[in-house]
Structure 1
């Protein structure tokens, strides 16, 4: 008897991953440049081979079953291994090539992202760099571990768990942003305890943002929990809402050069609270493009040498 793993086709896994990521057969079919009916047939064929449903389907939604959740990381691994093999063969007699998928958060990478991406493109123009925005720290760790991203910018709250590796590239400090007409705006410095009764604009309390985790920890250390009146995941939207007078926020000093009009930066009194930022990747990922990326990272951000921001904007 031929076992299912012997007859499974790569295109079936590609179809499975597309549906799992899109959670919509129509969008997945468009992404794969095929009609929806043949895509559904491919998924059903894969499910028959495995002897278990991979998706829960209804007229309004698509969701992974427990079997689908179990298969997904292995599907990523299989597709990544095949892609790495192709890239290695094509790169054997020339410069590195292939696709590198890099996750970033946006505001927190306004200085570091352009430096490393420009250097990568200059050093290895044959690498196809795909940038994925809106990736928060714990999402980035998960996506790199699963193989959905090759590398990601993340906040560093502790050591990396294998197989992930992490390199610190930026070390900032926490401060407070308030509306320009706030009673504290002209002070220059503030004690965290003075914000006890202030309305806050922060990221969602879902554990995905290292900035939100560290800001809440700082408030707890000052004896209170922030009164969050607006939770948004976009860091620049947080700053914009502060400028609009919705509340105050705690962020890292890397945002100082790009503060919106009608907002003011306040340093925290006392010992600085560091915010560490870096890049993560998986040591199990043998991608030629990733290896080239790590070499560029070593040149642009030498280990032990950190980017810092020391200029305080005038508002």
Structure 2
């Protein structure tokens, strides 16, 4: 109990964010040996190592990961308590991808800010968002495509069809919708091979017996749709993405809807219900 009530716990919370003694010591305005001693004392009092070498860097042990979440949660609760006493808004940290912030939860984020919350944004892909939430560095994570892992609480907040974006005037734009067969021979602007969207689309096209014709590999919906407008090719994107001028979006009938989830730690029973309400897309 004494160890968990010491300022060593606060120091460890900062160290766990950086996983670098020099950077953490600078933030805490401590000498590096002093920070090292605080963490070492905390580890001895708890009877377990809290971090270990990982090549040229450092990583938390399983006990260190649990303590990091506990420490960061204590810091968050203390800040929120003081904010409430002072009549100031409590903070909220959301981890999500650039496209998710822009195309899916942008209006929800605006609603949260307008409701008086102090918002912190962490740009993260699916795996990074899960890690940020699990470690307590983010209150909520939002991502699409694959379902959330079972160790996190979650709720579906949005669902969109997949659409084919084409330059205005392309023959396919005369159709109300299309199928994967219509993509045969069509030059496509695709995400890099490691992206889940690329992998899922490649599998769907393979199952439909359609070979991929790659016009260019492009990272990000914004640039992809811009290239469509320039006439460089067509693109399959989530239906939440707005078509730029001179671009037409057609639903693809035989592709599944893309689902988006909000996730949080099950222990976060104090997560205000209005947060999920704002993030849910009608």
Q: TM-score range by the shorter chain?
A: 0.7 to 0.9
Question: Which residue in 2 is equivalent to 1:237?
Answer: 223
| CA distance in structure 1 between the partners assigned to 2:133 and 2:85 by the alignment | 28
State which of 219, 222, 232 in structure 1 corresponds to 2:208.
Answer: 222
Question: What does the per-residue CA deviation read over 1:212-250, in whole Å, with 9 as the maximum and x for residues that have no partner?
Answer: 454344324423574667656543234345556665432
Instruction: Summarize the Cα distance change of 1:33–1:229 in structure 2 as closer, same or farther, 3 Å threshold.
Output: farther
Instruction: Summarize the Cα distance change of 1:36–1:194 in structure 2 as closer, same or farther, 3 Å threshold.
Output: farther
Give the structure-2-normalised TM-score: 0.73
Question: Which residue in 2 is equivalent to 1:270?
Answer: 253
State which of 65, 77, 80 in structure 1 corresponds to 2:69.
Answer: 77
| CA distance in structure 2 between the partners assigned to 1:91 and 1:286 by the alignment | 19
Structure 2: give runs of 5+ residues left out of the alignment.
none
Q: Determine if the alignment matches structure 1 residue 128 to structure 2 residue 109.
A: no
Question: Which residue in 2 is equivalent to 1:313?
Answer: none
Question: What does the per-residue CA deviation read over 1:188-216, in whole Å, with 9 as the maximum and x for residues that have no partner?
Answer: 1554234345454214525xx5x445434
Q: For residue 273 of structure 1, give the secondary structure of its aligned residue in structure 2.
A: coil
Q: Determine if the alignment matches structure 1 residue 56 to structure 2 residue 53.
A: yes
RMSD: 4.0
Question: Which residue in 1 is equivalent to 2:237?
Answer: 251
Instruction: Summarize the Cα distance change of 1:92–1:42 in structure 2 as closer, same or farther, 3 Å threshold.
Output: closer
TM-superposed deviation, 1:35: 5.3
Q: For residue 129 of structure 1, give the secondary structure of its aligned residue in structure 2.
A: strand
Question: Which residue in 2 is equivalent to 1:10?
Answer: 9
| CA distance in structure 1 between the partners assigned to 2:64 and 2:226 by the alignment | 37
Question: Which residue in 2 is equivalent to 1:310?
Answer: none
Structure 1: give runs of 5+ residues left out of the alignment.
308-315
| CA distance in structure 2 between the partners assigned to 1:225 and 1:277 by the alignment | 28
Asked if the contact 1:216/1:226 (under 8 Å) is kept, the reply is yes
Number of residues paired by the alignment?
A: 277
Q: Determine if the alignment matches structure 1 residue 192 to structure 2 residue 180.
A: yes
Asked if the contact 1:192/1:268 (under 8 Å) is kept, the reply is no
Give the structure-1-normalised TM-score: 0.67
Asked if the contact 1:12/1:46 (under 8 Å) is kept, the reply is no
